Amino acid sequence: METTVLYSAKLVESGIEILPKSGSTSGSPATKLFSCFAKLPFCSPQPASLNKPKLIPFYHVLWVEAARENLITINYVEETSKDVFTPFSAQLEFFNNLGYDDVQSLSLSTSDMINKEPIAMPDPMIATVTAKQSELTLRRSDESLGHSTHLRPLVSPTSTMAMLPATGKQADIINIILTRAYTAPNGTTLITRRKRLLVLINPHGGPGRARTIYKESCEEFLELAHCDVTVIETTHRFHALELARDTPYIYDKYDGIVCCSGDGIPHEVLNGFRARADGMGETCLRQLPICQLPCGSGNSMAVSVNGNSSATKAALAIIKGVAMPIDLMLMTQAEETEQENSSPVVKETLSFLSQSFGTIADADLGTEPLRWMGPTRFTLGALYFTLSKKRYPCDVYVKYRHQDRDAIKKHFDNHVQNKVENQQQFMDEKNYQLRGTGVAPRFGTVLDPVPEDWEQLPEGENLSLLYAGKFPYVSADVMMFPASLPSDGTIDLFVTHAHKMSAVQSLGMLLSLEDGSHADRDYVQYSKVEGYRLVPPKNAGHLSIDGESFPHTPFQVEILGAAGCLLVPPEVSKGKFVETGF
């Protein structure tokens, strides 16, 4: 963390403007250098840029608390390079007149605050946390989510006691800063402060740097935001599933689950919630949000909500995150039992990301020995298997919602527009019901007859890839599903046939995956579906579910409307992922 000595400060509409106080030097080497030489008689004054105030946006404020005498300490982050954030701590002294002319005295607008009572601009006073802050409680409610739960302390008494007490107007300043810092831009969603987080680190996932990434890019952020953090490193496969399934009162203990991994740990956590035996599975799935600190090869969840795989940007999004409903997908697959002459049983699995068969599955699972290469292994694998024009014969049956681009575009626009005004309910009980430790499929299982209104995909014998999913990005440079929406009740389905593409077209399709324009190509079938069934041949092959290897046997997938919950940046919580250009 970079530390500064002392700033003069003023509250403005968009944040806090600070200026190094006379006789004080900041942590910037350039500022220190100019401050030193400015004392010499032959030196000209410091450059004007060093005398101009710097703005700390409210979104970048992590915490504010009392310091000595008439000062407060502010913990915040600054974007030091593109999408790279660095934590800082500074001491501030608030004055009405900072001695520079380019900033006028502004009063705070309350249009985007939870508390609609007028808040006057405080007099020049110090700001500290008030002791009565510990008495405040926050109902975990969000009108957009359609539910409310029990009361929780806003600030724990133990941590508040360690802070200096505040008085009157001093407390006014800090309460204004914290309210603005932890209120979403829509002005109606209160961001949970000092989140209680369960951090799951997979030390062996992806390139194997999860522990280092957490230590270097996230841990200090959470400490400066005064989050209550429990860190557990997974030691074996399904460890995260076991923790999500077996941890008592996990919903009451935590405000979110941070997955320091690729896409495997989120998959395990969701299926662990589903398998809980205490009757809290539905509540955990719907109301205990998960998020991802990007540490794997794909990092689709983090990229789809943050726009890239920056670990520091993801860390800030965790602290300032709000809950957003997402659709999940239910996959059923037959599983043989060990009992002689017994019938196969149905195994149910929740999928949050994707299912892939054909060239994409081979590019994913067939390049496991190259995990050390990170996302590059997907690119090389996709290039090799696509240009080989290999065929993967199978039978595919689909329940379509929209098949042509115009209908998909209309669906996309209408859904986003309606979401801003009226968030979809977290769960359509007609489509999703818990059944013990499983879920009740709407379309039956893979062992049932194919529903009559499902259509068989033509030319299945020439299929080269089938990719179905719910997130726009599958890695930082692959936008597989540009029309994907968090909770629109559909699965995006992408299908190609080997005989319909030349080598040049295949290469063009691969290159267009970066910006999602492959969805516009005539030889690519891109549709929105409610469910599908794939019946592969009995020979060996790859089937990838959320990046994990599954048996190469028939399977069926259907959408579970708004059955899960993500922790996302406030600007993403309005019913869509990051901008895809669709």
Q: Are residues 309 and 334 in the same domain?
A: no
pLDDT on residue 538: 82
Distance in angstroms (rounded) separating the CA atoms of residues 10 and 55 = 10
* Nearest one of 260, 210, 203 to 236, comparing CA atoms: 203
Distance in angstroms (rounded) separating the CA atoms of residues 251 and 28 = 43
Across 309-333, average pLDDT: 96
What is the rounded average pLDDT for all residues in the chain? 79
pLDDT on residue 492: 98
Q: Which of 142, 172, 255, 263 is catalytic?
A: 263
pLDDT on residue 32: 46
Across 91-112, average pLDDT: 45
Burial letters 471-487, b for 16+ CB under 10 A, else e: bbbbbbbbbbbbbbbbb
Burial letters 569-580, b for 16+ CB under 10 A, else e: bbebbbbbbbeb
Residue 488 in tokens: 């629109």
Across 352-372, average pLDDT: 79
Residue 314 in tokens: 């993801």
Is pLDDT of 218 > 70? Answer: yes
| Share of residues in the chain with pLDDT > 70 (%) | 73
pLDDT on residue 383: 72
Q: Are residues 394 and 542 in the same domain?
A: yes
User: Between vectors from CA 145 to CA 141 and to CA 148, what angle results, nearest 5°?
Assistant: 30
Distance in angstroms (rounded) separating the CA atoms of residues 433 and 338 = 29
pLDDT on residue 432: 43
Task: Read off the pLDDT band of 384 (50, 70, 90).
Answer: confident
| Share of residues in the chain with pLDDT > 90 (%) | 52
Structural element, H or E, at residue 481: none
DSSP code for 108:
P
Residue 137 in tokens: 């409680």
Task: Read off the pLDDT band of 69 (50, 70, 90).
Answer: low
Residue 39 lies in a domain: no
Q: Are residues 288 and 396 in the same domain?
A: no
Q: Are residues 402 and 499 in the same domain?
A: yes
- How many CB atoms within 10 Å of residue 151? 11
Distance in angstroms (rounded) separating the CA atoms of residues 501 and 558 = 29
Give 463 or 51, the one with higher predicted confidence. 463
pLDDT on residue 371: 63
332: β partners: 348, 556
Across 325-345, average pLDDT: 86
Residue 250 in tokens: 């996990």
3-class DSSP string for 378-401: HHHHHHHHHHCCCCCCCEEEEEEE
pLDDT on residue 377: 65
Q: Are residues 388 and 524 in the same domain?
A: yes
Q: Are residues 361 and 499 in the same domain?
A: yes
CATH at residue 474:
2.60.200.40
Tens digits of residue pLDDT in 464-473: 999 999 999 9
* Nearest one of 9, 10, 14 to 185, comparing CA atoms: 14
Residue 158 in tokens: 């133990």
Is pLDDT of 100 > 60? Answer: no
pLDDT on residue 506: 83
Q: Are residues 289 and 314 in the same domain?
A: yes
Which of 122-136, 240-254, 410-424, 565-579 has maximum average pLDDT?
Answer: 240-254
Task: Read off the pLDDT band of 45 (50, 70, 90).
Answer: very low
Is pLDDT of 26 > 70? Answer: no
User: Between vectors from CA 355 to CA 490 and to CA 277, what angle results, nearest 5°?
Assistant: 85
Residue 35 lies in a domain: no
320, 346, 373: which is the final residue of a domain?
320
Taking a C-beta distance cutoff of 8 angstroms, is the pair 193, 222 a contact? no
CATH at residue 280:
3.40.50.10330
Residue 137 lies in a domain: no
Least confident of 419-433, 474-488, 519-533: 419-433
Which amino acid, residue 128? T
Residue 251 lies in a domain: yes
Is pLDDT of 427 > 60? Answer: no
In 3-state terms, what secondary structure has residue 520? helix
Task: Read off the pLDDT band of 509 (50, 70, 90).
Answer: confident
Q: Indicate if the alpha-carbon torsion angle 570, 574, 575, 580 is positive or negative.
A: negative
Is pLDDT of 305 > 70? Answer: yes
Q: Are residues 257 and 368 in the same domain?
A: no
pLDDT on residue 94: 80
Across 385-393, average pLDDT: 79
Is pLDDT of 256 > 70? Answer: yes
pLDDT on residue 439: 56
Is pLDDT of 39 > 70? Answer: no
- How many CB atoms within 10 Å of residue 286? 22
Which of 68-77, 366-375, 437-446 has maximum average pLDDT?
Answer: 68-77
Least confident of 28-32, 79-83, 329-333: 28-32
Tens digits of residue pLDDT in 278-301: 999 999 999 999 999 999 888 999
Distance in angstroms (rounded) separating the CA atoms of residues 216 and 561 = 37
Tens digits of residue pLDDT in 525-538: 999 999 999 999 88
Domain that holds residue 261: 196-320
Residue 461 in tokens: 């014998």
Q: Are residues 362 and 235 in the same domain?
A: no
Q: Which residue bears the tokens 């608030």?
A: 94
| Phi and psi, residue 349, nearest 5° | -135, 135
Across 550-576, average pLDDT: 92
Distance between start and end Cα atoms, the chain: 39
Give 432 or 399, the one with higher predicted confidence. 399
Residue 116 lies in a domain: no
CATH at residue 66:
2.30.29
pLDDT on residue 540: 72
Residue 240 lies in a domain: yes
| Phi and psi, residue 469, nearest 5° | -165, 180
pLDDT on residue 8: 87
Q: Are residues 206 and 90 in the same domain?
A: no
263 is catalytic: yes
Q: Are residues 384 and 446 in the same domain?
A: yes
Residue 32 lies in a domain: no
Residues 6 or more apart whose Cβ sits within 8 Å of residue 180: 15, 58, 61, 108, 112, 113
Is pLDDT of 497 > 60? Answer: yes
Give 574 or 156, the one with higher predicted confidence. 574
Is pLDDT of 573 > 80? Answer: no
In 3-state terms, what secondary structure has residue 270? helix
Which amino acid, residue 441? P
Q: Are residues 361 and 477 in the same domain?
A: yes
Q: Which residue bears the tokens 């292994």?
A: 377
Give 13 or 194, the one with higher predicted confidence. 194
Is pLDDT of 410 > 80? Answer: yes
182, 207, 240: which is the final residue of a domain?
182
Task: Read off the pLDDT band of 28 (50, 70, 90).
Answer: very low
The count of domains in the chain is: 3
Residue 153 lies in a domain: no
